A and B are shown apart, each in its own frame.
Chain A
Amino acid sequence: EAQVTQNPRYLITVTGKKLTVTCSQNMNHEYMSWYRQDPGLGLRQIYYSMNVEVTDKGDVPEGYKVSRKEKRNFPLILESPSPNQTSLYFCASSLGNRGNTEAFFGQGTRLTVV
């Protein structure tokens, strides 16, 4: 089954404790991205990747890192999480490398930083 898989689904952590949210897709998609969803703000892009070893900042990259060592995986790293990073996070992938084709979303990760 074609899918985007994120882990974990839920995470509660403390300020400053490094964490990684994993994302994997099995559709051989070029483009992958991370979004955060906050009430009233819609989906805001954090980082995106057009292909292996090619990543770039989105609209809200501060406090986040990503890597794309393999085509299927695109982990999101929070080196020193802060309470303002409490949010619902979605990973997405799409076939085209410009983000202008259908995006397939993962199940979401609800992160709480206390």
Chain B
Amino acid sequence: QLQLQESGPGLVKPSETLSLTCTVSGGSISSSSYYWGWIRQPPGKGLEWIGSIYYSGSTYYNPSLKSRVTISVDTSKNQFSLKLSSVTAADTAVYYCASVNIENWFDPWGQGTLVTVSS
């Protein structure tokens, strides 16, 4: 049974880069059955897909964030990572990682981690 866990700083300064890692357990990140994705949720608001990666390294980003997002995968550690550059207060959110079925629904999700952008 797949489990995912986000990790990274909970506080990032404006204009800096947000960096998070998702550790996958209970299965291999190199599985051909899944993509791996990041989704975020500002406090009290809805869900926004950030981007997805395949174990081969192919990446797919939300056009609204594409210029600031980098997602990478480390198969040796069974992890994938998110970098979001030039952050502002609008990037304050709970960030979730998730397994993305090959047809593109999200299941399961990590528990989420709150990242606050503030000086």
* Bind each other: no
Q: B-side interface residues toward A, CB under 8 Å?
A: none
